[in-house]
Chains A and B, each alone.
Chain A
Amino acid sequence: MQLKRRKFIQLGSAAGAALTVGSQFGMKAKASALMELKQTGSASPTGKKNQEIPYTCLTCNIEDGGIAYVEDGRIRRLEGNPNHPGNRGKLCAKGNAGHLHVYDPTRILNPLKRVGPRGSGKWKRITWDEALSEVAGKIQGAMDIDPMSVMFQYGRNRTHGLVYRFMNALGSGTVNNHTSICECNKKVAMEHAWGPDIETPDFAHTKYILNFGSNLAEAAYFHNPYIQRLMDGKIENKAKLVTFDPRMTNTGAISDEWIPLKPATDGVVALAMCNVILQEGLADTEFIRKYTNVTAHQLTEHLKQYTPEFAEKESGVSADTIRRIAIEFATAGPATTYTYRGSSMHQNGVYTEKATMMLNVVTGNIEKRGGFNLPRGLGFGGGPGPHPPKPPHSILKYPPEYPLASHHVSHHVSHSILEGRQKINVFMLYCHNPLYTQPDGDTWKQILTSEKHIPYSVSFSINMDDSTKYADIILPDTTFLERWDPESMPSSALGWVGLRQPVIKPLGNAKAFRDTIYELAQKIDPDGKRGVKKYFSYGSAESYVKNQLEATPGLKAAGGFKLLKKYGVWPFYDKKKEDNFKFGAHEETLSESDLAGTTLEGRTLMKGGKSVGLMVDGKAVRGFGTPSRTFQVNVPEWEHYGFEPMPHYEAIEDHKRMKSDELLLSTYKPNVHTQSRTPNLKWLQELHHRNPAWINTETAKARGIGNDDLIRITSPIGYMVTKARVTEGIHPQVVAIATSSGMSNKSTLGNYGGSKDPDIVQNTWWDDTGVHPNQIIPVSTDPIGGGMGWFDTVITVTKAKSGDKYGDTRSDRGAARKAFEKALSKATKVRTEDAHNTTAKTNVRDEIHTEVGGVFGTTAKLRDFEDPFNTTA
């Protein structure tokens, strides 16, 4: 029925009457006031003046420096910060699209309370006061029962200590990160070998780069700064790049040689090369003698078992190729390896990482121009005092079966909660989407939907991701362009500290996590009787971050926080300094004051119960950040827990038993996406939105599979139906699927209904948004590092069966449970049901991080940090 105007206008009187009792604009004003922004006066295409505000990017976790161009309070565009020593004025595609996070139409701009069953999508908008009061009440209740039952699970946490300040103040050590699904095996291997958990290769001045499974041109650490230096090295220094990777990545494409190998065999290839180098007399035996804890003879004898022929049998790389590349690497001049998740996130990842590091050790390419070097970050302080004491660690954080897993075992958490290993009363999720990014996503769904296992859950999120939609309450977070953080990353030879500052006011009623936590602490402990409030008396987020950054030596004299607000980073990029950087940190002579009060234990100089230096040919030097101050080729801690202390290769059990028709499933991050946070960004979604499974031409042919055919991929815990991309660019025994596609969030389709957005109306030429693989990937774990064996899943691939539809994904909870138990069965046998009995584990870990602080000169107060650089990607 069409309404008649004459009648309709009568509504005016009725509406007027109704409104006399209704209030308008009663909602609270926007969340918070903002810093005063500077006006530098650059012109925009509109002719208006733009503010140029430096910030630190967080679209991914490289932490590049950027400049936001802001006009009328809105971000017009983002560019790289030319002063930044890491990215030198360049942003990647993700960084350029970062502001679309701010203006994402699916952003949550108000606190939401669940009003239907979990996952029903039924919500009610509530005020911040109501939201914080409710969450505070739940936390108070949980604290009264057992503070450890308050759990915090985070993903991309760049608060640098705030999460731990909060949880420590509550008295809960039940905090989990996501490092075990990222690169923790690499970290654990490196920490035991030389101290820090990452390297800073000098790509620009090297002659040879051996890349094991890292995709530096697209997504690996630190892809933007490093690929620039790597190309400098290739072009200006004629460096050779050799990439071992089952998949032809863009890094493979720019390599001089791309060598596809069977997954999880990088380690044996590296050890065979070390063997060749030692056998051929090409090793730097002086470095081994001076700075490691083995002799060249011991190492030579040990590595004899890893012949090129054995490595060929395991990896598929010919013995001749292994010999040739080994000799090239050892004789090229300065050389370096590089690795990240590709080689390390296997069940044998810790051994593999150690093996690839050994190539640098035997050739003496550690800490030298053009070599494989210690990281150069700058540290900062732990924030304003007082600092809460550390509570006991949770069994969910440090399961005792993994005594060396110093970066948590987060992918076990869902199963551990399910089996009631630790009671959880309040579960908080911050910048993490475990249902999507963790393996065996269905088990996460099981616990997130279960009020028995998780009675109350809170999500701090900017949008309704696959996991947030199961929360009981959502506290809308701000994007990285609306918040404060200190930053530092070892992304270049020149260490730097940077500032992330809000370039605009938070949109809507979104509130920065720092502010939310501060206000929540006041609500939990209004009168101070719970002992929480005193740790949250520092005032604003800005003052907290200022306090942290101004603890960096030299910064105050250079201009302090004011300088960082103006330029975003300190010190500034200086090509001459980078080109003439002095290496050899391990050779640095100890001063008289360093030596005062030291005692000698073997070659190790001890002071106050800690190792501080190493005696080398009668000279006291700093050495490496290990308990012995040597580069630990032999790791006694590993032997203590029943692992192989010397460089070692161990084939994956499941891979040994593979049948002829079975394949291995690999996943990867495409160049324009992160794991889960970027599919909402329409520019990036247009560039990459679907993820067909890469399958080798011959492999596909044998199965009657053609390009774009529907295929069924079956794993031990389920199956998925997707499309095939038939290509020569993949190892015949491997199928690879990109992550970042197949999210449930509808905006990833660019589906804005009747939107007139020309990008959607005219340019949305796709309707395929992919199928996500993680639900069929079972839990599997490196028993040393505690990291997920992401690339170890044995699968079968067939043409789709009758009735299969694109996107079908099924997982079997019983099979998923068996897979978890299988992973546990390979761990050390020290299971305990005492949730707080993780003391031994904690000591190992704390000792390592204390050492890390010393070795590369950071002044960071590590007591508040879980991870000096928090380099998890």
Chain B
Amino acid sequence: MSSSKQVNVRPTSTEMAESGPCEAENRANVYEFLSRIFLEEMDSGLLQALQSDEVAGIFLDWGINFQEDLAGENQNEILEQLAHAYCDTFVTGEDPVFSPYESVWKTGCLEGKSTLLVEEFYTKCSLGLPKNCPEFADHLGIEFDLMSRLAKKEAEFRLAAQTAQAENYHKFQQAFLKNHLLAWGPEFSAKIERWASHPFYQHIGKLSCEFLRMEAEEFELESEPYMEFSEN
């Protein structure tokens, strides 16, 4: 882990916009991490990293034991199990309760207005959609990617002491959270925590849900209340 990624967190929300570049960079990293986890199956490099004492130790503070979730003698078998669980949770589509698309949550259809709005948001922020993007723009992983890139931009401008530009990217994040991510991300994540077939993804759901809840607090926004899943 490089020293440049050491944590430097300001404790109050009002000071957040004035916080140093590391705050934004760390937030960007969390978003990028979640984006990666939601968008694709685990690969061996990421698995090894998450199993390492260095990385896993940080998650232990929240009662999440990735070393336990990802334990096993054979790495390939673990990857295989995770790939099945990923498919169960996000891909098969037999039960759209886990559909990872904002449009499905809002309109019941794939590639709806939300997809277009997220695409437009990328343009508005002078960011292009990720190259070879395998998903619709309103996939949770892509929405996390956008937030990650906005936070990175904010961090870059803060590092260069270009406060106005940094503020601008901060506002983009606030708007995107308000209009998109917080409208469905916490609820979706909570469902993943409860219903994912593998403890790793249950814990990812928990992390995602809590992170978005805290983002809502810090940006002084309201997230949609979590509605208990109805089994009817």
Contact = CB atoms under 8 A, between A and B. Distances in A.
Interface of A: 1-3, 5-30, 72, 74, 100, 102-110, 112, 115-116, 121-125, 463-464, 469, 507-509, 682, 745-747, 750-757, 759-760, 767
Interface in B42-59: 43, 45-46, 48-50, 54-55, 58-59
A15 to B, nearest CB: 3
B33 A18 contact: yes
Q: Sorted from nearest, which 6 A-B pairs have the closest CB atoms?
A: A12-B26, A15-B33, A21-B45, A753-B97, A757-B108, A27-B134
B132 A25 contact: yes
Nearest to B64: A3
B1 A14 contact: yes
Given A11-B59, A754-B97, A755-B106, 20 more contacts: A6-B11, A8-B210, A13-B26, A24-B35, A25-B40, A26-B40, A26-B43, A30-B134, A104-B110, A105-B108, A108-B92, A115-B87, A121-B94, A124-B87, A469-B94, A751-B96, A752-B99, A754-B187, A756-B184, A757-B104
Nearest to A110: B91
A754 B105 contact: yes
B14 to A, nearest CB: 14
A816 B140 CA distance: 48
B93 A3 contact: no
Nearest to A5: B214
Nearest to B49: A18
B39 A25 contact: yes
B91 A125 contact: yes
Interface in B22-45: 23, 25-30, 32-36, 39-41, 43, 45
Nearest to B119: A72
A1 B63 contact: yes
Interface residues of B, number: 85
Contact of A19 (B33, B62, B83): B33
A22 B110 contact: no
Given A103-B109, A123-B88, A464-B93, A24 B40 contact: yes
Given A11-B58, A14-B58, A14-B59, A74 B116 contact: yes
A746 B96 contact: yes
B107 interface: yes
Given A19-B36, A24-B130, A105-B109, A7 B62 contact: yes
6 contacts: A23-B40, A24-B40, A106-B94, A747-B96, A754-B191, A756-B183
Contacts of A121: 88, 92, 94
Contacts of B93: 105-109, 463-464
Given A13-B5, A15-B32, A25-B134, A750 B108 contact: yes
- Dominant SS among interface residues on chain B: helix
B114 to A, nearest CB: 10
A458 B111 CA distance: 27
Contacts of B63: 1
A767 to B, nearest CB: 7
Given A10-B58, A17-B54, A29 B134 contact: yes
A752 B88 contact: no
B62 A123 contact: no
Contacts of A25: 39-40, 130-134
Contacts of B74: none
Contacts of B104: 105, 752, 755, 757
A107 B103 CA distance: 14
A514 to B, nearest CB: 22
Nearest to B102: A756
B18 interface: no
Contact of B50 (A16, A18, A753): A18
B192 to A, nearest CB: 11
A24 B94 contact: no
A102 B110 CA distance: 8
A334 B97 CA distance: 57
B34 to A, nearest CB: 8
Contacts of A72: 116
Nearest to A6: B9
A415 to B, nearest CB: 28
Contact of A759 (B6, B62, B87, B108): B108
Given A22-B43, A103-B109, A11 B30 contact: yes
A752 B99 CA distance: 8
Contact of B23 (A9, A19, A760): A9
Contacts of B136: 508
A758 to B, nearest CB: 8
A2 B130 CA distance: 33
Given A21-B48, A125-B86, A753 B230 contact: yes
A463 to B, nearest CB: 7
Nearest to B101: A105
Contact of B211 (A8, A108, A469): A8
Given A123-B92, A464-B92, A750-B108, A22 B45 contact: yes
Contacts of B5: 12-13, 16-17
B31 to A, nearest CB: 9
Interface in B165-221: 183-184, 187-188, 191, 207, 210-211, 214, 217-218
Contacts of B45: 21-23
